[in-house]
Structure 1
Amino acid sequence: MKKQSQKISTSLGLISLVIFLILTYGVVLHKEWINSFDNYFGHMVRDLATPSLTSFMIHFTKLGNFESLLGFTVGAGLILFLVRKIKAALFLLINGVVLAAPIDSLVKHFINRPRPTLTHLVSVHSSSFPSGHSMSIMVIAGSLLLLANRILKNNTQKLIVDLLLIILILGIGISRIYVGVHFASDVLGGWTLGLVTLTVSQWAFNQFAGGIS
């Protein structure tokens, strides 16, 4: 079962890497299919706009801010330390604090994609690809999802936690398109780069620390 889980994780990581590289190629070379992809999904999300949904999205997207995720990650890490899940705590903290933001910033710096020219409903200060919110929430919520499925014994609890984390990952990404600060390809790029980061980190913990929990 463990080997099968590792194979699935590796396959998911490789698929994510391929998708990320394809997206990067399209963004850097300004391919028309990237524009079509962004326009299609951008209109799909923004066509949902209502005053109440806009108010919700402006607040909801802040859950993916660096400060919010840092506080949440450190808090969750401390709880794991207190219940003596040392490897789990280190896995979460290294992924969420040491890896996610620096990797995203480095990639943003080299690609330097301009933000959408739409009205921005929240303030932003960096380039567009990949979405840092989408990458960070994928790394942090993905770490918690992996840990929950190893630590929790009750299948119902696992299912509830998994669903909540998946909704959070999808919701934060979609909110970045909705508030006008990211293209759809930025969000997909953030998710896939986050999955690659998570896969490599999990592999390293399995190789050198005997697992993540």
Structure 2
Amino acid sequence: MIARLSFALAVVPFGLLLHVARQPLNGLDMSVAHDLHAYAVANPAWTRFLAFWTDALGPATWRVLVVGIAAWLAWRGAPLTAAWAVITIVAGGLLGEGLKLLIDRTRPMFPDPVASAPGMSFPSGHALAATLGAGMLVLLARPALRGRRLLMALAWTAAALLTLAVSYTRVALGVHWVSDVVGGMLLGVAVLAVSVVAFRPVRRRRSPATARVRSP
């Protein structure tokens, strides 16, 4: 029920953002991008910190982390959960790249850029990967946190803050528009929700040997 609701709440605004991304640049995107870029240019120490943060929590970091945990789960006797984790992170990344090519939105361009990034702009791959990676880590930790509502709430809060922080760096460094990172986060929620719902029938048929390591 929660997964289906999350999908519905994410896919509708994401569809609206798809329309926005294909239109001429809107005032909100331009205003926020220029204000944050001006601050980054005037504060090089802050900019260096943002560059470190965005690289440390980039897509590659989340993919390595999820695949590493999946390998551990497979070794512990939970191959279905491991497969779910790998398929979800890979499928989300491929979907994001496919949408970039389809929408073909140009990244912000400034006369005095503080950072650069390859490829097209919508949706943000960093925001998508952070949403998927952080969300999957919380879901994979659910068995250990079962019955501990406060810890579960703190875990989801930490995941949301990490995702927002990564998304902020992309706009502040001038390599994405606000709608790019919002689109990336919404797409991540939608992919995660679909994968959870799709995996449930498989999870119910799992063997007793893998039942000791619970699935998301």
TM-score of the alignment, normalized to the shorter chain, above 0.5: yes
Superposition deviation, residue 143 in structure 1:
1.5
Matched, 1:110 2:102: yes
Distance 1:121-1:199 versus aligned 2 partners, 3 A rule: same
| Structure 1 match to 2:176 | 182
Alignment of 1:59-208 (within 5 A): 59-96=52-89, 98-118=90-110, 119-153=112-146, 154-208=148-202
User: Is the counterpart of residue 18 in structure 1 residue 12 in structure 2?
Assistant: yes
- 1:126 Cα offset (Å): 0.5
Q: How far apart in 2 are the matches of 1:162 and 1:79?
A: 22
1:95·1:140 contact (CA, 8 Å) conserved in 2? Answer: no
Q: TM-score, normalised by structure 2?
A: 0.83
With the length of structure 1 as denominator, give the TM-score of the two structures.
0.84
The two structures, once aligned, show a CA RMSD in angstroms of 2.3
The 1:208/1:37 distance shift into structure 2, 3 A limit, reads: farther
Which one of the candidate residues 26, 31, 36 is aligned to 1:35?
26
The one-letter amino acid of 2:30's match is: N
Structure 2 distance, partners of 1:90, 1:186, is: 29
The percentage of counterpart residues that share the same residue type is 27
Count of aligned pairs between the two proteins: 203
Residues 115-141 of structure 1, C-alpha deviation per residue, up to 9 Å, x if partnerless? 101244333110001101111111121
Counterpart of 1:3 in structure 2 is: none
Tell me if the contact between 1:61 and 1:172 (Cα under 8 Å) persists in the aligned partners.
yes
Instruction: Give the superposition deviation at 1:186.
Output: 0.3
SS at match of 2:26: helix
Structure 2 residue ranges without an equivalent (≥5): 205-213
**Separation in structure 2 between the aligned mates of residue 66 and residue 173 of structure 1, nearest angstrom:** 12
Question: Any idea what the Cα deviations from partners look like across 1:136-169, whole Å, max 9, x if unmatched?
Answer: 1111211122222344234454344323222211
Q: Quick check: 1:64–1:134 contact (8 Å CA) kept in 2?
A: no
What is the rounded CA distance, in whole Å, between the counterparts of 1:45 and 1:57 in structure 2? 12
Q: Which amino acid aligns with 1:10?
A: R
Aligned counterparts of 2:157 and 2:39: Cα–Cα separation in 1: 23
Query: What residue identity is the alignment partner of 1:107?
Result: L
Tell me by how many angstroms 1:44 deviates: 5.8
2:66, 2:137 within 8 Å by CA — same for their partners in 1?
no
| Alpha carbons of structure 1 residues 179 and 14: separation in structure 2 relative to 1, 3 Å | same
